[in-house]
Structures are given as C-alpha cells and as structure tokens.
C-alpha cells in the first residue's frame, strides 16, 4: 500500500491520445492564456494609471483581475507543457502547489465578488453614506481580509487533502490537480474530514450567495424607486457585469455539485473544468469592460499615449 510518503508524482488526464489533438490543445490553451493575460493586464493598467478610476469599485475590480491572472497561471502553463512534451506527469510537490494556489485564487476571487456586491449595495441604497462607509482604509481592509481568508481556506483544504494516504493509484482524472479527484485516490476513512470541510465550505458558499441575493433585492427595490429612466439605466448598468459573473459561477457550481458522481471524469467534466478554471478568468475583463465607458476610455487614452510616445521617439531618432 503506497501513501503520500512514497508518492512522487501524479498523472493527469489528457484531452486526447492523438498527437495532432495535443498540438490543437496546446494552440487553443495558448490563445486562451494570452487573451486572459492581455485582458486582465489591460484592466489593471487602466485602473492603476487613471486617477479617475481610483474608486472602491475599480479598486476591487483591479484586485479581481490580479487574482484571475494568478488563477489561470497556476493551471494552463503546466497543461500546455504536458501537451507539447506528450507527457501527463506532475510532481507531488507541484500537485500540492497547484491545489494550494488554485484554491487561494478562487477563494479570494469569490470573496471579492461578495465585497463588490456590498459596495454596489452601499452605493445605490445608501448613497449619502457611501464615502464614509467605503473610505480608502475600509476598502484596503476588505481586500486584505479577502486575501487572508483565502490563504487560511487554502491551507486548510490543501493540508486535509494531502495528509491522507493515497493507495488508489496516482492517476488524477482531470487535467489539473483537483481536490475531489485526489480524494478518490484515498484508501483511508480520514478523507471524511475533508468531506466535512467541503460540506462546511458549501454551506458557507450558500450563505454568501444568500447575502448577495438579499443585497440585490434591496438594490433592485432602490433602483425601481428612482424617478429618472436614465438614472435607473445607469444604476442597472453598474450591477449587470457583477450579476453576470455571479450567474456563471452559480451555474457552474450547481452542475459540479449536483451532477452524479463517477469514478472517472467524462468529457463533460473536462469541459466544465475548463469553464471555471480557464474561461471565467478570461471572460471577467470582457464582461466588466464591455459596456464600461470609463475603462474603455482609459484604455483608449493609454493606447493613444503609447502610440504618441513611440511616434515622438521615432521622430527624435530621425532628427
């Protein structure tokens, strides 16, 4: 019986055994990774360089983009390298690190989405108290609490996962190290501790969802009382991106937790994993900037400034 003391590596599930499809997988993931990097870096750059965007909402959005960059960088590079080198192995320490950092970035992102919901609630339902409640110090404390809570949550889940003995083989039926798939390799009843922690996490997540729902019930009531149609449209437009992201997360989580369990991952499981681990971090900057005039304007100004600087430098060299 082998356990974590003798386990030196795990084998991840590939998308296909055909070499041509390995190359296709590599190319698709490169495109998704670059799109996510460019989108999130644009958001961070636009908010950092534009003083007009130094507001609580955009401060939290910048934190969310940084977390999305970290989340997607934990999974995609290793998967691309495995496809290119035609291998599926990941070291034991690499698997531990992947679980820890993915849980950390995912937990912190969800906590920030809750904070953004609270920010929108205060801005629309208590506008006269907004500057006092969402002052700079409060925003920094909220963001720091999200990061610290995520670290504690990640340490707890990672520790409870890798302290159990593994004797069910070393093949993880997913394209990255995922806690539910790792638990299936356990041969000890101690995995019930992690199941209990997971159930507690689900209950905590449901309480967060109820908090977000109640916040938006109050927001919609306040918006409907706005006499101006233009005012109602502006209030709804500030909440729409956040609601879209929350809806995608809830739909994905509902499928993951409500679908029947199986001993191996199906093609649908892989697609859902790609959705919540790869596509969501890529879609967040698109969703938040699609109809956001402030971010689009800041990006346009930044790109024009870069082009002007290059042209000015070129003219100087010609002289």
The Cα 168–Cα 31 span in angstroms is: 35
Predicted pLDDT at 100: 95
pTM higher than 0.85:
no
**Cα–Cα distance between 267 and 250 in angstroms, integer?**
21
Q: Which residues contact 138 (CB under 8 A, 6 or more apart)?
A: none
Predicted confidence (pLDDT) at residue 285 exceeds the cutoff of 60: yes
Confidence of residue 209 (pLDDT cuts 50, 70, 90): confident
User: Rounded to an integer, what is the distance from CA 192 to the centroid of its chain?
Assistant: 27
Do residues 223 and 258 make contact, with C-beta atoms less than 8 angstroms apart? no
Q: How many CA atoms lie within 13 A of 150 on its CB side?
A: 24
| Number of neighbouring beta carbons within 10 Å of residue 182 | 23
- Model pLDDT, residue 305: 59
Q: Which CATH class for the 9-313 domain?
A: mainly alpha
**E strand or H helix at 12, and its extent?**
strand 9-12
Q: How many angstroms separate the CA atoms of 160 and 154, rounded?
A: 10
- DSSP string spanning 209-232? HHHHHHHHHHHHHHHHT-S-HHHH
pLDDT of 246-283, one tens digit each?
777 777 766 665 655 555 555 677 777 888 888 888 88
- Does the structure show a pLDDT above 60 at 231? yes
Compute the distance between CA of residue 56 and CA of residue 140 in angstroms, rounded to an integer.
Answer: 9
CA distance 76 to 278: 7
Torsion of CA 166, 167, 169, 175, to 10 degrees: -20
- Is the backbone of residue 169 left (phi > 0), alpha (psi -120 to 50) or beta? left
SS3 content of the chain, % helix, strand, coil (to 5): 80, 5, 20
pLDDT digits (tens, 9 = 90+) for 126-138: 888 888 989 999 9
Percent of the chain with pLDDT over 70: 77
pLDDT in tens, 38-58: 889 888 888 888 888 888 988
Residue ranges of domains in the chain = 9-313
Region 66-82: mean pLDDT is 90
Residue 313 has pLDDT above 80, yes or no: no
Cα 99 to Cα 154: distance, rounded to the nearest angstrom: 8
What percent of the chain has a predicted confidence (pLDDT) above 90? 16
- Which pair of structure tokens corresponds to residue 112? 């920030």
């Amino acid at each position: 019986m082998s356990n974590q003391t003798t386990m030196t590596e795990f084998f991840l599930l590939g998308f296909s055994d055909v070499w041509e499809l390995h190359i296709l997988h590599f190319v698709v993931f490169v495109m998704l990774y670059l799109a996510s990097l460019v989108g999130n870096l644009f958001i961070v750059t636009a908010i950092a360089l534009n003083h007009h965007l130094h507001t609580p909402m955009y401060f939290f959005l910048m934190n969310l983009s940084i977390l999305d960059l970290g989340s997607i960088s934990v999974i995609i590079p290793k998967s691309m390298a495995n496809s290119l080198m035609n291998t599926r192995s990941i070291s034991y320490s690499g698997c531990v690190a992947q679980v820890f950092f993915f849980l950390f970035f995912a937990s912190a992102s969800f906590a920030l989405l809750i904070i953004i919901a609270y920010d929108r609630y205060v801005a629309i339902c208590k506008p006269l108290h907004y500057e006092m409640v969402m002052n700079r110090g409060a925003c920094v404390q909220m963001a720091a609490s999200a990061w610290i809570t995520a670290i504690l949550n990640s340490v707890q889940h990672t520790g409870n996962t890798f302290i159990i003995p593994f004797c069910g083989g070393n093949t993880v039926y997913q394209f990255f190290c995922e806690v539910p798939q790792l638990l299936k390799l356990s041969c000890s009843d101690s995995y019930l501790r992690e199941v209990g922690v997971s159930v507690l996490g689900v209950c905590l997540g449901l309480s967060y969802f109820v908090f977000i729902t109640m916040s938006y019930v109050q927001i919609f009531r306040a918006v409907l009382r706005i006499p101006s149609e233009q005012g109602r449209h502006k209030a709804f437009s500030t909440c729409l991106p956040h609601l879209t992201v929350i809806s995608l997360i809830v739909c994905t989580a509902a499928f993951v937790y409500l679908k029947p369990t199986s001993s191996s991952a199906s093609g649908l499981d892989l697609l859902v994993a790609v959705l919540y681990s790869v596509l969501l971090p890529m879609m967040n900057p698109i969703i938040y900037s699609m109809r956001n005039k402030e971010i689009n304007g800041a990006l346009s100004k930044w790109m024009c400034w870069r082009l002007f600087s290059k042209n000015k430098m070129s003219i100087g060299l010609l002289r």
